[in-house]
Amino acid sequence: MVPLTRRRFLQISTAALGSATALPRWTAQPAWAAAPASGGVTTIPTLCDMCFWRCGAIAHVRDGRLWKFTGNPLDPQSEGRLCPRGTAAVGTVYDPDRLRQPLLRVGPRGHEQWKAVSWDEALGYVAERMNAIKAAQGPESVALFNHGLGQRFLVHVLRSWGVINRAEPAFAQCRGARDTGFALTYGNGLASPEPTDIRNTECLVLLGSHIGENMHNSQVREFAEAVARRVPVIVVDPRQSVAASKAKYWLPIKPGTDLALLLTWMNVLVTEQRYDADFVARHGHGFEQFKDEIKGCTPAWGAERTGLPAELIVAAAREFSSHRPATLIHPGRRSNWYGDDTQRARALALLTALMGSWGRRGGIFVPTSLKVENYPLPPYPGSNRPQADGADGAQFKFAEEGVTTSLRAATLSGQPYPIKAWVVYGTNLLQNLPDRAQTLAAIDKLDLLVVCDTIPSEIAGYADVVLPDTTFLERHDELFVGWGRRGWIGLRQPVVAAPHDQKPSWWIAKQLANRLGVGACMPFDDIETYLRWRVEKSGHSWERLQREGILMGPPNPVTVEDGLALSFDTPSHKVEFWSEQLAAAGFDPVPKYTAHPQAPAGHFRLITGRAPVHTFSKTQSNPYLHDLMPDNEVWVNAGVARARGLADREYVTLRNQDGVVSHRVRVKATERIRDDCVYLAYGFGLTNPALHGAYLNGASAAQLNTRYATDPLMGGTSIHGNFVQLVKEA
């Protein structure tokens, strides 16, 4: 590998992000695919997995080693450019902390005493324990936690074996509330990538949504283009985020009061008749009742709750409504803020409807896809038991996916039936679920904890069996069928060989299937047979997909301007300003503001977001990204820091309302945050000493999330309801 100095790395990532590529946007045959490898360098297209945006990328391989990772110009997500994390994929392959072989626990759980074993022994052990649990308690007593494209076949095998309990933090800890709120309003969630037409917008409104720190590639690039086009940007954030620093209006809202602001904005739009009356008349359901519900939400009412001047609230509403329908009210993504997040998402959805910007150019488009045939696989067995997490309606009427924290609660209580094993694929539950003590207590109840990961993550530290997956650069995964302005298929394929005894996740799933007695559910010898079948049966060339990495579908209308006819899959077949479904289930049919708990004396609300060069807790041991940002800092209002005698860059610890104390972290004293909250980027302060570079670097926001509120509609867990004191180091 070419030694990559920090300086050169920065140059690469800046070029990757900022510069306009000379390649046309939709080349039929890119130079790198047509030309034979020169100078011993082979280029292989694949999909980035440094985060879940799944950008199309090109691996440059020399002498069997990956030395550069760049964007695939054919891919609609990257358009030839990766974010800094994608560029650093090389560090994921050569991370010295990688798991190398299967491990069996020999000491007490969590004490990290292992025996390296063969795959045969590891998978034989897993199958034997799982079959014993099935015989005694039924397959429902095994739960699966998973995330990412690599999970596909493990999920399939376990479901074929009888698993019905499965959840991922990307729902209840991420976009679940947002998608539920939009589905209740329009009949459809937004999924990923969210169809925001930033490229064509004439006014962008961001609540939270810290694009630029949230590095989702295409959104960041379209955002940069919008700023260059001098599109007015309105940012609502208690902290002056990177996006807020580019904004025409920054509204430093009192945390937790966004719903009051949204209701006030809607009141202003209705009162001043600035909404799209035609859209509402044609597509709206229950508008009069809605109007009646929000009539008390005047600017004075909103100002009192949000801490924002009434004039600023009104000025922002006048600004963004003057650009409708090309006004984009960004729907957000990580919506697990305060526990009433589905209702906040409903308010965002209704504000979009008042702008008439659903299905419009410059607003939210209705994405299209490409039809891909499904490989004929046997159906899953049924079960006469309910899901243990209540996400099938018993507890969370509107949850469309499994609820992690509720599955954890079922493991703790043994109700409605005991959960005796967790299989965990690609998700670090000790960081991404609130209240770590509950996660550890639930693990204590298990007869079996299997973790499949690439590095010694914190959750792997508690496993009975650790299965070392290959990295995404060493394996095939299921096809990625993308939804967007056009549909596309993206292929993940291996670009280098696994360096040790790591195995691809599809292979692990297939081997396990044989040992679990459900081998028939994987009726192909290798994954290429499966992938080729799907691609060719769908009328595409497998060889071309292997060569180019991306196959684009034909253009379809995605906005009214392109000829799209709007339709809504709600009970009324309209946009539900008033939700009969919510009313029938005993919830507010129109969102209502309720105040959230305030900080105890001497405490600050802990708010959180993303570090631009890291993904959650999974990239801290990547040498290049670690070099760029080894730890986090706690943002403290400069006046607060002065009053407490805290100097910029001085170390403090954070003690939360329940007495949990963080690892030491540097203070960033800044005017760019309100004085009632502090901010910490998520993903640091990792506690597994086997992560040599990343161990205890910075403070873990997750560790301080001991309190959470649960969204009663879909089970999402809030994390912004925790409060901390700043403790000076002795």
Ligand X SMILES: Nc1nc2c(c(=O)[nH]1)N[C@H]1C(S)=C(S)[C@@H](COP(=O)(O)OP(=O)(O)OC[C@H]3O[C@@H](n4cnc5c(=O)[nH]c(N)nc54)[C@H](O)[C@@H]3O)O[C@H]1N2
Binds 60, which of ligand X, Mo ion, ligand SF4, none (CB < 5 to 8 A, cut-off by type)?
A: none
**Spatial contact of 501 and 468, defined as CB atoms under 8 Å apart:** yes
Which residue's CB is nearer to ligand SF4, number 49 or number 576? 49
Question: Taking contact as CB under 6 A, which single stretch among the options 77-85, 98-106, 418-426, 477-485 is the one that binds ligand SF4?
Answer: 77-85
Residue 27: count other Cβ atoms within 10 Å of its Cβ. Answer: 14
Spatial separation of the C-alpha atoms in residues 419 and 343, rounded to whole Å: 31
Determine the length of the chain. 730
Burial of 525 (0-12, 13-18, 19+ CB in 10 A): exposed
Name the residue nearer to ligand SF4 (CB basis): 53 or 287: 53
Binding span for ligand SF4 by CB under 6 A among 47-55, 324-332, 433-441, 455-463: 47-55
**Are 709 and 717 within 8 A, CB to CB?**
yes
Strands 448-453 and 465-468: parallel
**Whole-number Å distance between alpha carbons of 664 and 642:** 19
When CB distances are held under 5 to 8 angstroms depending on the partner's kind, the choice from ligand X, ligand SF4, Mo ion, none that residue 324 binds is none
- What is the distance in angstroms between the CA of the first residue and the CA of the last residue of the chain? 44
List the one residue from 210, 476, 626, 668 that touches ligand X (CB under 6 A).
Answer: 210
On the question of a cis peptide bond just before residue 325, with omega within 30 degrees of 0, the verdict is: yes
The entry of ligand X, Mo ion, ligand SF4, none near residue 453 (CB within 5 to 8 angstroms by kind) is ligand X
Cα separation of 133 and 442, whole Å? Answer: 17
Token pair 């209006």 in the structure block, residue: 249
Residue 451 burial by CB count (10 A; 0-12/13-18/19+): exposed, middle or buried?
buried
Measured at the CA of 368, the angle between CA 366 and CA 371, to 5 degrees, comes to 150
Residue 469 binds which entry of ligand X, Mo ion, ligand SF4, none, CB below 5-8 Å type-dependent? ligand X
Q: Which residue is nearest to ligand SF4 (CB)?
A: 86
CA–CA separation, 526 vs 532, rounded Å? 10
User: What is the token pair recorded at 475?
Assistant: 């394996």
Instruction: Give the Cα separation of 525 and 529 in Å (integer).
Output: 7
- Choose between 574 and 610: whose C-beta lies nearer to ligand X: 610
The answer to whether residue 679 forms part of the interface with ligand X (CB under 6 A) is: yes
x/- track of binding to ligand SF4 for residues 447-466 (CB under 6 A): --------------------
Q: Does 652 interact with ligand X (rule: CB under 6 A)?
A: no
Of the candidate spans 206-214, 366-374, 527-535, 656-664, the one that interacts with ligand X by CB under 6 A turns out to be 206-214
Pick what 238 binds: ligand X, ligand SF4, Mo ion, none; C-beta below 5 to 8 Å, kind-dependent.
ligand X
68 binds ligand SF4 (CB under 6 A): no
Residue 421: alpha-carbon gap to chain centroid:
25
The Cα–Cα gap between 496 and 93 comes to 9
Residue 426 makes contact with ligand X by CB under 6 A: yes
Cα(457)–Cα(462) distance, integer angstroms: 9
At closest approach, how far in Å is the CB of 335 from ligand SF4?
19
Give the C-alpha separation, 404 to 388, whole Å: 10
Q: Using alpha carbons only, how large is the chain's radius of gyration in Å?
A: 25
Residue 611 interacts with Mo ion (CB under 5 A)? no
Nearest to 616 by CA among 50, 81, 118: 50
Q: Is 174 in the site for Mo ion (CB under 5 A)?
A: yes
**Least CB distance from residue 167 to ligand X, whole Å?**
11
Should residue 53 be labelled a site residue for ligand SF4 when binding is judged by CB under 6 A? yes
Question: Contacting ligand SF4 (CB under 6 A), which of 33, 83, 269, 512?
Answer: 83
Decide whether 53 or 275 has the Cβ nearer to ligand SF4.
53
DSSP 667: E
Query: Pick from 297, 317, 719, 726: which binds ligand X (CB under 6 A)?
Result: 719
51 near ligand SF4, judged by CB under 6 A: yes
Strand, helix or coil for residue 397: coil
Regarding 705 and contact with ligand SF4 (CB under 6 A), the answer is no
Residue 206: helix, strand or coil by DSSP?
Answer: strand
Q: Is 663 in the site for ligand SF4 (CB under 6 A)?
A: no
Which listed option, ligand X, Mo ion, ligand SF4, none, makes contact with residue 82 (CB within 5 to 8 Å by class)? ligand SF4
Tell the smallest beta-carbon distance from residue 307 to ligand X (Å).
Answer: 11
Site mask, Mo ion, residues 327-346, x = CB under 5 A? Answer: -------x------------
694 binding ligand X? (CB under 6 A): no
Minimal distance in Å, beta carbon 719 to Mo ion?
12
Selected from 406, 502, 511, 617, the binder of ligand X by CB under 6 A is 617
436 binds ligand X (CB under 6 A): no
Which amino acid type is present at position 413? S
C-alpha closest to that of 713 among 184, 194, 44 = 184
User: Toward ligand SF4, which CB reaches closer, 482 or 712?
Assistant: 482
Q: Which of 58, 59, 66, 82 binds ligand SF4 (CB under 6 A)?
A: 82
Contacts of 277 (CB under 8 A, 6+ apart): none
178 close to 191: Cβ distance less than 8 angstroms: no
In angstroms, what CA-CA distances link 388 with 166, 404, 641, 672, 676? 9, 10, 47, 44, 39
- Residue 629 makes contact with ligand SF4 by CB under 6 A: no
DSSP characters over 140-151: GGEEEEE-SGGG
Residue 76 half-sphere exposure toward CB, CA atoms < 13 A: 22
Minimum distance, C-beta of residue 564 to ligand X, in the bound complex (Å): 26
Q: List interacting residues with ligand X (CB under 6 A).
A: 51-52, 147, 150, 169-170, 173-174, 207-210, 214-216, 236-239, 241, 253, 255-256, 258, 332-334, 337, 425-428, 431-432, 452-455, 457, 469, 471-472, 505, 607-610, 612, 614-618, 679, 682, 701-702, 705, 719-720
Q: List interacting residues with Mo ion (CB under 5 A).
A: 174, 334
Q: List interacting residues with ligand SF4 (CB under 6 A).
A: 48, 50-51, 53-55, 82-83, 85-86, 215-217
